[in-house]
Amino acid sequence: MKNKTSFLPREGETRPSRCPDNSAFKQQKLPAWKPQLTIATVLSSFFLIGIFCLSVGVCLVLSANSVREIQIDYSDKCLDCSKLRENSSNWNKECHCSVNFTLKEHILGDVFMYYGLQNFYQNHRRYVISRSDVQLLGRNVNIQKSYCAPFTTYQNGTPMAPCGAIANSMFNDTIDLFYNLNSSVIQVPLLKTGNSWWTDKNVKFRNPKSYNLSSAFAGTARPPYWQKPVYLLDQEDEKNNGYINDDFIIWMRVSAFATFRNLYRRVRRIRQFADGLPAGNYTFRISYNFPVTRFKGRKHVILSTVVWSGGSNPFLGIAYLVSGTAATLTGFVITAIHLKLRKKKTYFQK
């Protein structure tokens, strides 16, 4: 055991000082600007902020209200297919349903098709981390060490590609749109690529390197709830397969709320639809594969346009209006207090 006196400085030695260096920075001697708050500067700041927020809020609300949107709930209209899908043994049986609706006015411009889910909680802690980002980059990785469990491998040891609960629960309804013109039925051309973020498509998701996708995913198997392997997600476009499939990429970006919508398709502006969707009768033909009755969910199809501020979501505009109103009211309250105190001060001086 060391002697306690060994920690004391010896004769002739000086203990190092713990004081900060005598510099302008460490001694806080740097020149600084200190605003002098007067009643004029305070009131002008509150009123300017209020006017700015109110102006931006009005523009955002008017912009959101100008969006044309139609939402179709097909949960009840496809009830027979929903009951069929409740039994997992019917996974290989096809089921189709149709939903008719009418557009009373033209929807001009770019038209986007979304699918919406209600009461589907993607923000669960275990669900959010149930993925392997290294695997989605196309690298050979041991997914047993990832958070994909229990969707990692099958009982025979075959790894799942992609692994995890997020990928396994991917939305897989097929939705087609038809325009009923007189006695003819015209299928509306839809774009299935170019809907995901550029950074996701080119940075965060990559396919394994090989001369073809089937050999790249050799030795792996599809997730249990999928009907086809990952390299056959889009049989019409070979470049839209594997981990860089747009539908898969969009689904892997989980939502923070239980009710959400994801971009599904865009209307291709050609022939009768060069200016958008004309008014008339339409039909959604749906290949029903995604069951929602077990968690009391609902499914929607949304047709919507977009504006410079985004889609039909007035939340940001309302937030600006509330902030601007609060700042303006605060300015008036401070003004009233200032005038009252100034009158009292003038009275006592007299």
Q: Within 10 A of 273 (CB to CB), how many other CB atoms are there?
A: 19
- pLDDT confidence of residue 235: 87
- Report yes or no: 71 and 299 within 8 Å, Cβ to Cβ: no
- pLDDT confidence of residue 277: 93
The whole-angstrom separation of Cα 305 and Cα 317 is 18
Per-residue pLDDT of the chain (350 residues; tens, 9 = 90+): 555 555 555 666 666 777 888 887 787 777 877 778 888 899 999 999 999 999 999 999 999 988 999 999 999 999 889 888 888 777 778 899 999 999 999 999 999 999 999 999 999 999 999 999 999 999 888 888 889 989 999 988 899 999 999 999 999 999 999 999 888 899 999 999 999 999 999 999 999 988 788 898 988 999 998 989 999 999 888 889 999 999 999 999 999 999 999 999 999 999 889 999 999 999 999 999 998 988 889 999 999 999 888 888 889 999 999 999 999 999 999 999 988 887 776 655 55
The whole-angstrom separation of Cα 338 and Cα 350 is 19
Q: What is the pTM of this model?
A: 0.81
**Residue 231: DSSP 8-state:** G
The whole-angstrom separation of Cα 348 and Cα 350 is 5
- Report yes or no: 325 and 92 within 8 Å, Cβ to Cβ: no
Cα-based angle 172, 176, 182 (whole degrees, multiple of 5): 165
What residues does each domain of the chain span?
A: 68-305
CA distances from 327 to 35, 183, 335, 336 (A): 20, 59, 12, 14
Q: Could you tell me which residues are beta bridge partners of residue 310?
A: 307
Q: Which two tokens stand for residue 47?
A: 């009123």
- Hey, is 157 helix, strand or coil? coil
